[in-house]
Amino acid sequence: MLANFARITRWSAVLTVVVAAVMVGVSAAIGGSRGLIGALLGIALVTIFFGIDVVVIGRVARIGPQAIMLAGIALYVFKIIVLAVAVKELQGTSFFDAKLFGFTAIICILAWSASQVITSIKFKALYVEPDGER
């Protein structure tokens, strides 16, 4: 299961890097330097959040498949709280384009998620261990 997780994560990262590069160019063209900064901050947010997921879920998967769901839910709640605090703190700033920040983050999240689904289907990754103990 960990081998499939690593393969799926690699493919998702590659696709997301390509999409992120395109979004940097588009954001810089639309919003200038403020758009570029917004796009880079959006990419940083997605990278940090999904990087945390990969590390934590990878380690929790060694404990057992039942722990993965609990870790996933805990990470989701943690990231929502961090995102809410970050949005509140950055609310009045003008050094980056907030719309391009959000748009870049959403596009990168969708690219990551779609890549995980497509790669899982392509590699026919099992969600249970067929030879596991019962």
Domain residue ranges of the chain, discontinuous segments joined by +: 18-123
Q: Tokens 């969708």 map to which residue? A: 110
- For residue range 33-67, what is the model confidence (pLDDT) as tens digits? 999 999 999 999 999 999 998 889 888 888 877 88
- What pLDDT is recorded for position 5? 74
Residue 30: closest CA among 112, 124, 103, 126: 103
- What pLDDT is recorded for position 67? 87
Token pair, residue 57, equals 């879920």
DSSP assigned state of 129: -
- What pLDDT is recorded for position 90? 83
Name 107's Cβ contacts closer than 8 Å, sequence gap at least 6. 19, 23
CA 111/CA 133 separation, integer angstroms: 35
- What pLDDT is recorded for position 108? 93
Q: Computed from CA positions of residues 121, 125, 130, 134, in that sequence, does the dihedral angle turn out positive or negative?
A: negative
What's the pTM? 0.81
Residues of the chain with pLDDT under 50: none
CA 16/CA 7 separation, integer angstroms: 14
**What is each CA distance from 2 to 17, 60, 129, in whole angstroms?**
22, 11, 11
| Terminal C-alpha separation, the chain | 16
- What pLDDT is recorded for position 1? 55
